[in-house]
Structure 1
Amino acid sequence: MNKELEHKFVTELQNNQNVVHKICSLYTNNREAHNDLFQEITIQLWKAYPKFRGESKFSTWMYRVSLNTAITLYRKSKKRIKTQDYDSVIFKIKADEYDETQEQQLKLMYNAVKQLGDIDKALVFLYLEDKDYSEIAETLGITEVNARVKMNRVKNKLRTILNP
């Protein structure tokens, strides 16, 4: 792969890595698993990047790959996420620390969201990222109407979880 493509990928990943951290927080329970999932998502993004055609925004494409990777790994092993080595490419990306103390107010919400199903988690995540329903639908591969209906149902589930 050429250096220009690698540079574009690294720049996009650095600009959007917070999204990946948030996805990791939804699908993991500890720092080690979070870091492992972040690494695995980065590898999957890199492997898929040459096929990225630019028909959607990079962030939309990244959400889809990241969520699919997280959901696939979560389903394979609920105890520990296994990662693979990818020694042929070394990325020099300064990982921003994901400071959980700044997220104290969201801790209850994250715990509630973790109790949801895989698709519902992804839906909430995209909604909280201020994605419109058309982008949510595109990312999840569902219709816009279905995304709206599912979101209303998820809101009701979260109310029930947070206010038993």
Structure 2
Amino acid sequence: MTKELEHSFVTHLEKNQNIVHKVCRIYTNNEAAHNDLFQEITIQLWKAYPKFRGEAKFTTWMYRVALNTAITLYRKSKRSIQTQDFEGVSHKIKFEQYDDTEEQQLKLMYKAIKQLNDIDKALVFLYLEDKNYAEISDTLGISEVNARVKMNRIKTKLKTILNP
């Protein structure tokens, strides 16, 4: 890869790495798993970056890669996660420790969200990120109508979980 492409990737990742941290928070239960998933998502983003055509916003593409990676790795709990060395670029990315103090009040909501299936988690995550249904449907590869119907059902399910 060219230095220009590498610089572009690092700039985009540093600017938007909280997206990856948020995905990691939803799909992991501890810091070590969070860090492993963050690394794996970063590797997958790096591998896919040369094919990013810019037809969608970078963040939409990043959500899609991050969510697909998380779902793939954590759907099969029997499968262990194999990490890869990321020497080529990792030393150039300024890693910011994820600060969740603002999200302490959402602790119960995250606990409820973790009880959902993987696709519903992704849909809620994108909804909480203020993505419109067109972006959600594009990211998840479902119709806009299906995204709306699923979201209404998920809201009902979350209310039941939070208020038994």
User: Is TM (by shorter chain) over 0.5?
Assistant: yes
For 2:60, the equivalent position in structure 1 comes to 60
- Compared CA separation, residues 98 and 78, structure 1 to 2 (3 A): farther
More divergent stretch after superposition (124-133 vs 95-104): 95-104
For 2:15, the equivalent position in structure 1 comes to 15
**C-alpha separation in 2, matches of 1:54 and 1:122:** 22
- Following superposition, the deviation at residue 82 of structure 1 comes to 3.5
- Following superposition, the deviation at residue 80 of structure 1 comes to 5.9
The unaligned stretches of length 5 or more in structure 2 are none
For 1:155, the equivalent position in structure 2 comes to 155
**C-alpha separation in 1, matches of 2:120 and 2:149:** 11
- Following superposition, the deviation at residue 46 of structure 1 comes to 0.1
**C-alpha separation in 1, matches of 2:56 and 2:117:** 26
For 2:49, the equivalent position in structure 1 comes to 49
**C-alpha separation in 1, matches of 2:2 and 2:44:** 18
Matches within 5 A, 1:1-164: 1-77=1-77, 81-164=81-164
- Following superposition, the deviation at residue 100 of structure 1 comes to 2.6
SS in structure 1 opposite 2:29? Answer: coil
Native 8 Å contact 1:36 1:82 kept in 2:
no
**C-alpha separation in 2, matches of 1:85 and 1:126:** 29
- Following superposition, the deviation at residue 74 of structure 1 comes to 0.2
Q: CA RMSD in A?
A: 1.5
More divergent stretch after superposition (23-32 vs 99-108): 99-108
Number of equivalences: 164
Q: Identity of aligned pairs, percent?
A: 77
Native 8 Å contact 1:33 1:80 kept in 2:
no
